Amino acid sequence: MYSSNLKGFILAVVSSAFIGSSFIIKKKGLIRASVNGPAASVGGYGYLKEPLWWIGMVTMVIGEIANFVAYVYAPAVLVTPLGALSIIVSAVLAHFLLKEKLQKMGMLGCLLCIVGSTEIVLHSPEERSLSSVQEIWELAIQPAFLLYTASVVAVTLVLMLYCAPRHGQTNILIYIGICSIIGSLTVMSVKAIGIAIKLTFEGTNQLKYFQTWIFGTVAVTCIITQLNYLNMLPISSLNKTHIRGHKPANILPNMDFWNGSSYLYHHSIELSKHGPVLALDTFNTAIVSPIYYAMFTSFTMLASAIMFKDYSGQSVSSIASELCGFITVLSGTVILHSTREPDPPLITDLYTPLSPKVSWYIQSNGEWKQKDEDGSTPNFLTVLRQDYFK
C-alpha cells in the first residue's frame, strides 16, 4: 500500500471505530437518562444532563475529524466504502454491552464487510499529489467534471421541485437520491478544503485564493441541502405506532451533524429520532441504510474518478477487484441490517399512555364491557385513556 494511502486507511478505520462506538455510548446514556425522566424518543431532554451521552458525542466528533483528515491523505474511492466498518463496530459492541443479539447471518455480514474492505484497500489507487488549491480548481473545471456537476444540479432540481412534492413520501429513492447525488459534490469540496488546510499548515497559505472560499461555499450549501432532505426522509423502525391525525412529537436528537456526507450514512439509523419527521411508518431503516450506502458511495466514487482521475493508470483487474470489494461490502451491509433485531416500539402519540392501559367499550345500552384480547368490535366505541376511570 502507498504511504499516503496507509495514513488515510488508518484514519478511516480509527474514524469507523470511534463513530461506531459513539452510537453505543450515546445509547447507554439515553437508557440511563430515561430512567429518571421522559425518553428522548418522546421529547425528553434529560439526556443532556447525562455525562455518558456527552462522552458519546465527543467520541463521535473525534471520529468525524479523523474521517475528514482521511480524505486529505487517501482517495475517496478508498475512504468512503470503509465507512461501513462503523456498522460492524456498533453491531459487535451492541451484542456485548446492550445485549442486542448478533445473529449468525449478522456475523456473516460483518465478515463480508471485512473481506470487501480488505479487497478495496489492496487494490485502491494512489492518492494524487497536489501542491495548491489552484491545481484542485483546475481539476474541478475540466469539461468532464463540469458536465458531471451540471448533471447533478439538473437531476437534483428535478427531484426537489417535481418528484419530492409528489412522490417523496411513497418512493424511497427520492430523498435518498437527493442526498446521495449532492453528497458526491460535498465530499469533493470537503476534500479540497482539507488539502487546502493541510498545505496552509505546512507553510503555503491557501486561504488567500478565492478558489478555497468557493469550495467552502459549495460544501456548506451541499451540507445544508443534504441535512434538510435527509431530515425529511420518512424512515423508522417503528411500525404503525403513529396514529394518523396526530402530529408526531418534535423529537430532539440523538442526531448529530458532520461537515461531510459520509457522516450522513453513518447516522441514517438515527434519523427517525430527529423531528420533524414527515411520516413514521413508511420505510424501515433496514431498507434505507443499505440503499443510502450503495447510492452515496457509488456517486462519490464516480465523482472522485472523474475529478481526480483516481483510476488513471490502474489495470482493469485492479479496478474490477475494487468494484468487487465494494459489492461485497454492500452485501455484508444488507445482510447485517436485515438481520438486526428491531428496537422496541416507541410510542409517539400523545394520547397513548406509557403504562399498561385498560381498554373498555361502551355498548349502545350504556353498559361497560372490557376489551377482548382478540380485538375490538366495530359497533363499540373504544376508550384508551385509563385516567377516564380514575
Evaluate if residue 236 carries a pLDDT over 70. Answer: no
Q: What is the pLDDT of residue 4?
A: 87
> Which strand (E) or helix (H) includes residue 369?
strand 368-370
Evaluate if residue 271 carries a pLDDT over 50. Answer: no
Q: What is the pLDDT of residue 380?
A: 47
Which strands, in side-by-side order, build the sheet including 368-370? 368-370, 360-362, 381-383
In a domain, 131, yes or no: yes
pLDDT: which is higher, 380 or 2: 2
In a domain, 344, yes or no: no
Q: Are residues 159 and 63 in the same domain?
A: yes
Q: Are residues 9 and 150 in the same domain?
A: yes
In a domain, 349, yes or no: no
Would you say 339 and 108 are in contact if contact means Cβ atoms under 8 Å apart? no
In this prediction, residues 168-173 reach a mean pLDDT of: 82
Q: Are residues 191 and 317 in the same domain?
A: yes
Q: What is the pLDDT of residue 30?
A: 84
What's the angle, vertex CA 338, arms to CA 333 and CA 340, rounded to 5? 95
Q: Which three cell numbers stand for residue 204?
A: 503555503
Split at pLDDT 50, 70, 90, the class of 27 is confident
Q: Are residues 293 and 168 in the same domain?
A: yes
In a domain, 178, yes or no: yes
Q: Are residues 12 and 60 in the same domain?
A: yes
Q: Are residues 74 and 156 in the same domain?
A: yes
Split at pLDDT 50, 70, 90, the class of 204 is very high
Alpha-carbon distance 111 to 331, whole Å? 10
Round the average pLDDT of the chain to a whole number and report it: 77
Count of CB atoms situated within 10 Å of the CB of 86 = 27
Query: What is the model's pTM?
Result: 0.74
In this prediction, residues 175-190 reach a mean pLDDT of: 93
- The number of distinct structural domains making up the chain is 2
Q: Are residues 173 and 26 in the same domain?
A: yes
pLDDT winner (highest mean) among 22-31, 40-49, 56-65, 230-239: 56-65
Beta bridge partners of 260: none
Q: What is the pLDDT of residue 278?
A: 30
The rounded percent of the chain whose pLDDT value lies above 70 is 70
In this prediction, residues 56-74 reach a mean pLDDT of: 93
Q: Are residues 303 and 383 in the same domain?
A: no
In a domain, 353, yes or no: no
Q: Which residue range(s) make up the domain with 281? A: 3-339
pLDDT digits (tens, 9 = 90+) for 100-145: 888 889 999 999 999 999 999 999 998 888 999 999 999 999 999 9
In a domain, 354, yes or no: no
